[in-house]
Structure 1
Amino acid sequence: MSIYDYEATLENGETYSLKKYENHPLVIVNTATKCGLAPQFKELEKIYQEYHKKGLIVLGFPSNQFHQEVSDSKEAAQSCRTTYGVSFPMHQIHDVNGEKALPLFKYLTSQKPGKFTNAIKWNFTKFLVDEKGQVVERFAPTTVPQKMIPKIEKLLEKQQS
């Protein structure tokens, strides 16, 4: 089993298989535009711009489970673009915990549980996935995206060798 067994829906309603990103390392992050951690969008975009040409994909998944997101997926994506310059793919708003959680997030959290629980504790929990679709690292919401760079570079080096 890997993330390639799951589907995702972009903010425009287009559903696709994550198999589309096979052979690419990924950063998958649950987001919220009204969260105090929202400035991480700029940092994630900077990483995306720097490493996208080498194969890295960043995927944003808005969630309102922590009551810090607008109610419309297109509006959330537009806010990310205009406020933070986000160009990486943004998806429809989904739950990331509980019975109604997006199956992808159930899988991610089962593969890399948090320190005390599998559940996503807050917005901007970040998952690093290798080119084979395996979850290799989970980063806490307060971990700044730049701290992921050594692990990202290691994955990209491995992929190119």
Structure 2
Amino acid sequence: MADPTFHDFTALTIDGELRAMSEYRGRLVLVVNTATLCAFTPQLTGLQELHDRFSAHGFTVLGFPSDQFHQEPGTDEEIQEVCTSTFEVTFPLFSKIDVNGSSAHPLWQWMCAQKAGVIGGRIAWNFTKFLIDGEGKVLRRYAPPVPPGRIARRIESELGLRP
């Protein structure tokens, strides 16, 4: 059997619907663990800007809220309300998950195994970002402090928008 790719996983949307990551086959995807009470929460604005700027070219941001760092205590409904009303998020959001440990969502276990961070495979903090290519392979892992705007050049390059 072939090694798994991003497209082999599923996750519950914030609205409670099961979504296959294979729906994003052929698209460049930035997967981010989010939290609405984090010092990095303003990155939601930058993530939305990337989504707006590049979605027509085959790019999508996917937000996965997590309370493992105690900065996302709300329900899925409360999280969605903050993300949409305060930060005008329109990119897909998923149901709150764990990103570390034995209860971590299988997609996050897989991504961490593909690209370890500074502290190994664990997620260090909210707003860790994984760039996934159209074939479902992890291209790059970005640390939480990396602002979304700094990823724009790589997105342009991967989408063939740079000379």
TM range (shorter): over 0.9
Whole-angstrom distance in 2 between the partners of 1:94 and 1:74: 14
- Among 35, 40, 43, the alignment partner of 2:43 is 40
- Show structure 1 runs of 4+ deviating over 4 A: none
In structure 1, runs of 5+ residues without a counterpart are none
Partner residue in 2 for 1:89 = 92
The alignment partner of 1:48 has SS state of helix
Residue correspondences, number: 158
SS at match of 2:160: helix
User: In the alignment, what sits opposite 2:9?
Assistant: 6
Give the distance between the partners of 2:119 and 2:83, measured in 1 at CA: 30
Residue 75 of structure 2: aligned partner: 72
Deviation at residue 100 of structure 1 after TM alignment: 0.3
Amino acid at match of 1:7: T
Deviations 1:18-46 (A, max 9, x none): 00000000000000001010000000000
Q: State the TM-score, normalized to the length of structure 1.
A: 0.96
Report the counterpart of residue 52 of structure 1 in structure 2. 55
* Aligned residue in 2 for 1:150: 153
The 5 A counterparts of 1:125-136 are 125-136=128-139
Residue 75 of structure 1, CA deviation: 1.1
Gaps in structure 2 of 5+ consecutive residues? none
Greater share of helix: 1
Sequence identity, in percent?
A: 38
RMSD of Structure 2 on Structure 1 (CA): 0.9
Displacement, 1:151?
A: 1.0
